[in-house]
């Protein structure tokens, strides 16, 4: 940022962000859905997990979304540990979905076109650091192929002015985040970070995928 006012505005949003508003102590991590029958699972990292979680929660065919950490080496990390940038983890979301209602390709389209900006390297908006990097985790060779094909298509059509920098990484393990992070955007609509950073991202998704929303979701 080259303009002082823009810099000061970004710093103000950061002050209202996750590090300033989240609890300091770790609470019980959120569990996976109790009934996984008929569901598939996908994992993505696209900046702060608050807005990513809400974006996928509003997608028709998605049963549940859990915020957490993936891509690193530390087992059962805390939010504070991930924030030190020493764990290798990125803030991520684990999406449990019904493949009969929504395809993996649709999840990729939402991830790359509606959930975040995949051209930003190690940051998303005011949030900076490798824990906010963009990652598409694949579980099968077919998923990897779809991810790479999607990136190639978007780069070729120049959907974004800059090339996509999303990491394409084999999934290893997902650690659910502390319970107070789960559903954070819905529980704290008046939070300054939610209003200035998260809400605009979710509104972008709603406008880009109006026909993919669960019933009752407002545009």
Catalytic residues: 48
At residue 66, φ and ψ (nearest 5 deg) are -120, 130
E strand residue ranges, the chain: 40-46, 62-70, 90-97, 123-124, 127-128, 134-138, 167-170, 174-176
3-state helix, strand, coil in the chain (%, to 5): 40, 20, 40
The neighbour count for residue 183, using CB atoms within 10 Å, is: 17
Task: Tell me whether strands 40-46 and 123-124 are parallel, antiparallel or unpaired.
Answer: unpaired
118 is written with which tokens? 């995949």
- The four Cα atoms 55, 58, 63, 65 give a dihedral, to 10 degrees, of 20
């Amino acid at each position: 940022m080259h303009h002082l006012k823009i810099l000061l505005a970004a710093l103000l949003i950061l002050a209202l962000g996750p590090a300033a508003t989240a609890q300091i102590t770790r609470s019980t991590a959120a569990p996976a859905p109790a009934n996984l029958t008929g569901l598939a699972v996908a994992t993505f990292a696209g900046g702060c997990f608050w807005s990513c979680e809400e974006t996928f929660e509003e997608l028709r065919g998605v049963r549940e979304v859990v915020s957490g950490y993936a891509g690193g080496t530390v087992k059962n990390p805390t939010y504070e540990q991930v924030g030190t940038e020493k764990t290798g983890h990125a803030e991520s979301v684990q999406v449990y979905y019904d493949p009969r209602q929504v395809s993996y390709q649709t999840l990729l389209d939402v991830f790359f076109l509606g959930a975040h900006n995949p051209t930003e390297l190690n940051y998303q908006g005011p949030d900076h650091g490798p824990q906010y990097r963009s990652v598409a985790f694949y579980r099968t060779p077919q998923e990897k192929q779809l991810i790479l094909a999607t990136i190639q298509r978007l780069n070729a059509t120049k959907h974004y002015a800059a090339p996509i920098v999303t990491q394409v990484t084999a999934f290893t393990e997902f650690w659910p985040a502390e319970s107070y992070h789960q559903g954070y955007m819905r529980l704290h609509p008046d939070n300054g970070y939610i209003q200035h950073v998260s809400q605009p991202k979710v509104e972008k998704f709603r406008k880009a995928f109006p026909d993919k929303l669960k019933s009752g979701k407002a545009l």
